[in-house]
Structure 1
Amino acid sequence: MKTVAIAGASGFVGQSLVEYFSKQNYKTVQIKREVLSNASKLDELIESCDIVVNLSGANIINRWSEEYKKLLYSSRINTTKSLVESINRVQTKPKMLISTSAVGIYDNKATYDENGSYSNDFLSNLCQEWEKEAKKVNNGFTKVTIFRFGIVLGKNGGAISKMMLPFKLGLGGIIGSGKQYFSYVHIEDLVRAYHFTIEKELDGVYNLTAPTPTTNYEFTKTFGKILNRPTIFPVPEFVLKLIFSEGAKVLSDGQSAVPKNLLQNGFEFKYRNIEECLKEICNK
């Protein structure tokens, strides 16, 4: 039985991974904050596991005050640093570290595989630093895998849980121009991709997004169509900036990413486009 230790297990993705792996005869262990801040306890936990999954990070969709930007940074970089230092320090090392990043690392000028060009804004730089920290595993034994998440969609959490009610009430609408890219992944495909990567012991960087990216307009219209609700109330970009300040970029300035590396390694997505994804979530 493989043991998977998860930092950030209380979130939507973390809970989904715990539930999935428990059905796959894996043992899961949560890496709690008090363990992360105690080197000896962290080392003991790391030595007892085969896989370390790093999902830690404050919610990116929020108002980005200077204080909150520091929290976004520390909750990702410092946690990853603690995990990496422990992995490098202990004698019995895990086989894999699977760390997290986001497609926000790319600019929005084209559709990119894992070799796409980076932006030079706060979110991209945050992702670059996050990945750089994970790659400091240097023990010659532990493989490092990095998943660049798109927007995670599922029934019981993530972005859909916040959008379902307004859309059901007929209050859903495009954000800004609606032309911005929208890269996403169904939670079921996400957890399956983790399992696939672990079983094949793959390292490297992987876009964890559905094979067919969409736009905010197409997402909105498809969601409304499936729910049989109108989508006539657009959200102006200036309103988002009033609410989220610089953080509005997450909603108004998306990226288009495709999972070339996963597909080339033989992973098969169950939900390949936005209609298939939303139909399953809405049980249509």
Structure 2
Amino acid sequence: MKIVIPGGTGQVGTILSRALTGDGHEVVVLSRRPGPHHWDGRTLGPWAAELDGCDAVINLAGRSVSCRYTEANLKEMMDSRVDSARVVGEAIALAKRPPKVWLQMSTATVYAHRFDAANDEATGIIGGAEPGVPGYWGFSVDIAKAWEEAQDQAETPDTRKVALRAAMVMSPDRGGVFSVLRAMARLRLGGPVGGGRQYVSWIHETDFVNAVRFLIESELSGPVNLAAPAPLPQRDFMRALRRACGVRLGLPATKWMAEIGALVLRSDTELLLKSRRVVPERLLGAGFAFEYPEWPDAALDLARKARSSGHTDHSRTVRRDG
């Protein structure tokens, strides 16, 4: 197949393009970098011809969320997502031979901060929080909703549309979220944060790639949760990661300590404190089988691969995908 990946220069795009190219597909990555496949993520241009006659589009474009949530950064996060989804829809609508499927990156952050039950696609709470708990981080939910609405509103009747409500994609590649968490664990900083009760949803890179392959071939449309079926509290998540890294101790952090840490890392406490309890009901119902459904096994595999790759630095990479 020919597969076009707008915004495919970040961590997730690198994982996907590597795997899909290895499958023998022709993969075209649209990037803001100068070159033959340049795009600005906002306006139509010569890049749109790549979508005419291709088999699938996987739009990953959007400013990284690993930043301080200032007004300017939030606006850039919103605009980069909504504009790219809108213009991809315009390009598909103009194509004489539109792609069969359009996978649009979204996020599991669209769901509520909650502890009482898991969020699936049918019964999950969009935004807000569980009853009796104040709402948290409404701006991220607003961005996620607008992101999906931009795809929904696109007039592409001959193209099946899927919104990928993805949890954190765990990969041993340097600069990704697993690399940062592993570095924290090895520095003995991988203890519970704010009590550690908040849930962590995640997906191993192998299952993420396999889910994308599955969705390209399936007939599913609409929102699909890309998350392992066993989210777990942050304290248990980090305990399993420490064990995978051979580290016994993990210092705990209070909420105010998390605030300071996020400020130093130029990030936001939402990434640490929001309870993301998400399950992949539609994938499981369609027959998808996870290779890494449980975090302890996934953490062991990722830590082993990171060691064999020689990823020993404790640096943190902030990427502006697409």
> What range is the shorter-chain TM-score in?
over 0.9
Work out the CA distance in 1 between the residues paired with 2:119 and 2:196: 20
Bigger mean CA offset, 80-89 vs 158-167: 158-167
Bigger mean CA offset, 7-16 vs 33-42: 33-42
Q: Residue by residue, what CA displacement relative to the aligned partner does 1:176-205 show, whole Å, maximum 9, x if unpaired?
A: 110001000001100010011112243221
Residue type at the aligned position of 1:137: A
Whether the 8 Å CA contact 1:182–1:214 is kept in 2: the answer is: yes
User: What TM-score results when the alignment is normalised by the length of structure 1?
Assistant: 0.94
Work out the CA distance in 2 between the residues paired with 1:192 and 1:219: 23
- Of 188, 206, 212, the match for 2:224: 206
Secondary structure class of the residue paired with 1:147: strand
**Structure 2 residue runs without a partner (length 5+):** 33-37, 129-137, 306-322
User: What TM-score results when the alignment is normalised by the length of structure 2?
Assistant: 0.83
Bigger mean CA offset, 221-230 vs 76-85: 221-230
Q: Residue by residue, what CA displacement relative to the aligned partner does 1:66-91 show, whole Å, maximum 9, x if unpaired?
A: 11111111111111111111111222
The Cα shift of 1:37 comes to: 4.9
Bigger mean CA offset, 200-209 vs 162-171: 162-171
Which residue of 1 is the match for residue 68 of structure 2?
63
Which residue of 2 is the match for residue 183 of structure 1?
201
Q: How does 1:79-90 map to 2 (within 5 A)?
A: 79-90=84-95
Whether the 8 Å CA contact 2:92–2:98 is kept in 1: the answer is: yes
Q: Which runs of at least 4 in structure 1 moved beyond 6 Å after TM superposition?
A: none
The Cα shift of 1:49 comes to: 1.6
Which residue of 1 is the match for residue 133 of structure 2?
none
- Of 259, 262, 276, the match for 1:255: 276
CA RMSD of aligned residues (A): 1.8
Work out the CA distance in 1 between the residues paired with 2:181 and 2:161: 34
Task: Tell me which protein shows more strand as a share of its residues.
Answer: 1
Which residue of 2 is the match for residue 114 of structure 1?
121
Task: Tell me which protein shows more helix as a share of its residues.
Answer: 1
Secondary structure class of the residue paired with 1:268: coil
The change in CA–CA distance for 1:181 and 1:274 in structure 2 (over 3 A counts) is same
Give aligned-pair identity as a percent.
26
Which residue of 2 is the match for residue 279 of structure 1?
300
The Cα shift of 1:278 comes to: 0.4
Which residue of 1 is the match for residue 152 of structure 2?
135
Work out the CA distance in 2 between the residues paired with 1:234 and 1:55: 34
Residue type at the aligned position of 2:158: F
Work out the CA distance in 1 between the residues paired with 2:203 and 2:6: 21
Bigger mean CA offset, 137-146 vs 66-75: 137-146
Work out the CA distance in 2 between the residues paired with 1:139 and 1:61: 32
Work out the CA distance in 1 between the residues paired with 2:274 and 2:44: 39
- Of 163, 167, 180, the match for 2:181: 163
The Cα shift of 1:239 comes to: 3.2
- The number of residues matched between the two structures is 283
